[in-house]
Amino acid sequence: MDWLGSCVEEPWICWGPALRSHGFAGGPGSRGHGLAGRPGSRGLGLAGGPGPRGHVLTEVPGPSRPIFTGDLEDLTQFLLFIRLNENKLATMVEEGNNVLQMAALGRPFRIGMLYDQRSDSIIPGVTLWDLAELQMNIDVQLKPSTAFTIISSDSIEAKASALDVKASLKASFLGGLVEVSGSAKYLNDKKTSRQQSRVTLQYRATTRFEELTMSHLAPQHITYPSVIKQGSATHVVTGILYGAQAFLVFDQDHSSTDNEQDIQGNLEVMVKKIPTFQIEGKGTVDLSDEDKKHVEKFDCTFHGDFSLTKNPVNYQEAIVVYSMLPKLLGDGGEKAVPLGVWLYPLKMLVSQTAELAREVSIILVNQCQQVVHGFHDIEMRCNDLLKSPAAKAFSEIKDKVQTFRRTVLEFHAVFQEKLAQTLLSIRAGKQSERSLEQMLEQKEQSPFGYSSLNAWLKKREKEVNIVDVCLTELKGVEIVTQSQLDTILVDPMIQTVFCFSFNSLEEQDLYLKELSNSLKTPYAEGEQSGLAQEDTRQTTEDWFDVHSVLKRVREALHCYLSVIESNKSKDGQGNKLVISSLGEKSLSGASIFLYEGGIVITKDYILPQPQNPEK
The CB-side HSE value for 486 (13 A sphere, CA atoms) comes to 4
Report for 84-88, 227-231, 560-564: range of highest mean pLDDT: 560-564
Residue 249 pLDDT: 98
Confidence class for position 134, pLDDT limits 50, 70, 90:
confident
Asked which of 253-267, 298-312, 366-380 is least confident by mean pLDDT, the reply is 253-267
Q: Nearest 10 degrees: CA dihedral of 303, 304, 310, 314?
A: -50
Q: Nearest 10 degrees: CA dihedral of 408, 409, 412, 417?
A: -140
- Beta-ladder partners of 299: 251
- Beta-ladder partners of 139: 211
Three state DSSP letters for 191-224: CCCCCEEEEEEEEEEEEEEEEECCCCCCHHHCCC
The average pLDDT across 383-388 equals 98
Which residues contact residue 379 at a Cβ distance below 8 angstroms, ignoring those fewer than 6 apart?
Answer: 192, 405, 408, 409
pLDDT of 42 higher than 80: no
pLDDT of 75 higher than 70: no
Confidence class for position 420, pLDDT limits 50, 70, 90:
very high
Residue 40 pLDDT: 39
CA distances, 142 to each of 30, 227, 331, 332, 336 (Å): 11, 32, 13, 10, 12
Confidence class for position 50, pLDDT limits 50, 70, 90:
very low
Residue 356 pLDDT: 72
pLDDT of 226 higher than 90: no
- Select from 287, 206, 199 the least CA-distant residue to 242: 206
Burial of residue 497 (CB within 10 Å: 0-12, 13-18, 19+) is buried
The average pLDDT across 80-94 equals 53
Residue 125 pLDDT: 84
User: How do residues 110-130 score in pLDDT, each as one tens digit?
Assistant: 999 999 999 999 998 888 888
pLDDT of 215 higher than 60: yes
pLDDT of 270 higher than 60: yes
**In b/e form, how buried is each residue of 409-427, taking b as 16+ CB within 10 angstroms?**
eebbeebbebbbebbbbbb
Evaluate whether 590 touches 556 at the Cβ level (below 8 Å): yes
**In b/e form, how buried is each residue of 428-444, taking b as 16+ CB within 10 angstroms?**
eeebeeeebeebbebbe
User: How do residues 165-183 score in pLDDT, each as one tens digit?
Assistant: 999 999 999 999 999 999 9
User: How do residues 318-369 score in pLDDT, each as one tens digit?
Assistant: 999 999 999 999 988 999 999 999 999 988 877 666 677 788 999 999 999 9
Query: Could you give the CA distance from residue 26 to residue 21 in angstroms, rounded to a whole number?
Result: 13
pLDDT of 530 higher than 50: no
**Kind plus residue range of the DSSP H or E element containing 23:** none
Query: Could you give the CA distance from residue 429 to residue 360 in angstroms, rounded to a whole number?
Result: 11
Residue 399 pLDDT: 98
Which residues contact residue 200 at a Cβ distance below 8 angstroms, ignoring those fewer than 6 apart?
Answer: 150, 151, 152, 162, 186, 247, 248, 249, 250, 271
Report for 75-89, 348-362, 496-510, 517-531: range of highest mean pLDDT: 496-510
The average pLDDT across 454-480 equals 97
Confidence class for position 303, pLDDT limits 50, 70, 90:
very high
Query: Could you give the CA distance from residue 256 to residue 233 in angstroms, rounded to a whole number?
Result: 52
Average pLDDT across the chain, whole number: 83
Q: Provide the residue type at 192 as one letter.
A: T
Residue 357 pLDDT: 75
CA distances, 79 to each of 47, 51, 302, 385 (Å): 15, 10, 55, 71
Which residues contact residue 189 at a Cβ distance below 8 angstroms, ignoring those fewer than 6 apart?
Answer: 247, 249, 301, 303
- Beta-ladder partners of 577: 498
Asked which of 9-18, 288-297, 433-442 is least confident by mean pLDDT, the reply is 9-18
Residue 98 pLDDT: 74
Between these two residues, 9 and 152, which has the higher pLDDT value?
Answer: 152
Confidence class for position 581, pLDDT limits 50, 70, 90:
very high
Residue 160 pLDDT: 98
Domains and CATH numbers, the chain: 2-98 (no CATH), 102-348 (no CATH), 358-473 (no CATH), 474-507+542-615 (3.40.30)
